[in-house]
Chain A
Amino acid sequence: AQSVTQLGSHVSVSEGALVLLRCNYSSSVPPYLFWYVQYPNQGLQLLLKYTSAATLVKGINGFEAEFKKSETSFHLTKPSAHMSDAAEYFCAVSEEAGNNRKLIWGLGTSLAVNP
């Protein structure tokens, strides 16, 4: 079974600083990878996804992620943090289960942005 590891359950950055949220996955086949964001008291919203096209994926709100097969990583970055980026971020990998595919989720990383 596949698994997703998000290093660091809490990350704190200053406004304007680089944001780096780490995600590593285990998969023996090329995966589909996702980053979702969850703002307080809201559902999850897709930030970006990798579906075997370009390895550098650009998403909403200035976020991007790079798929590195050799490192089995899909880290999320943003050059300059904004206060509105404070949220919970989840990495997920799509796992094949019979004729179906389902998402395997990481535990999440809580991002705090300090003024």
Chain B
Amino acid sequence: EAGVAQSPRYKIIEKRQSVAFWCNPISGHATLYWYQQILGQGPKLLIQFQNNGVVDDSQLPKDRFSAERLKGVDSTLKIQPAKLEDSAVYLCASSQQGRGQETQYFGPGTRLLVL
């Protein structure tokens, strides 16, 4: 079974530029998560999708971050414009139905450096 795929693995941009990350979850998983992980901290949930609908985006900085999950499969996360404090690893995860006891499966992450 293929795991969660993410691209790119690394990205370096200058502040005020825009950037986009792509995620392909495990086949058949209805729930998709985007996390931000700053160095030395645990993951912070940015947005959670159930199929193509948003379940939780309470911690997404909506003035600069956006995400979509068209057709309920792949997802993209965009930052525009980027700030220095956006430097982090962006992790995508998926689970079968989003229930509390389910395992979340993580991709390798995209490491973003904003200069």
Q: For the complex, give the distance between the alpha carbons of A102 and B48 in Å.
A: 9
- Residues A100 and B43 in contact in the complex (CB < 8 Å), given A32-B101, A49-B101, A49-B103: no
A-B contact count (CB 8 A): 59
Interface string of A56-99 (1 = CB under 8 A from B): 00000000000000000000000000000000001010101100
Interface residue count for A (Cβ, 8 Å)? 25
- Interchain nearest-CB distance for A108 vs B (Å): 5
**Residues of B6-62 contacting chain A, CB below 8 A:** 40-45, 48, 55-56
Task: Return B3 CB to nearest CB of chain A, in Å.
Answer: 8
Question: Which B residues touch A108, using CB under 8 A?
Answer: 40-42
Residues of chain A within 8 A (CB-CB) of B44 are 105
Q: Are A43 and B101 interface neighbours, CB within 8 A? A: no
Chain B interface mostly: loop
Contact bitstring A38-63, B, C-beta under 8 A = 1, else 0 = 00011111100101000000000000
Residues 69-93 of B, flagged 1 when their CB comes within 8 A of A and 0 if not, give 0000000000000000000000101
Please determine whether A101 and B99 come into contact, CB atoms closer than 8 angstroms: yes
The distance in angstroms between the C-alpha atoms of A97 and B45, with both chains bound, is 13
9 pairs across A/B with beta carbons < 8 Å?
A34-B103, A43-B91, A43-B109, A46-B105, A90-B43, A97-B56, A100-B48, A101-B99, A108-B41
Q: Which residues of B contact A (CB under 8 A)?
A: 4, 40-45, 48, 55-56, 91, 93, 98-101, 103-109, 111
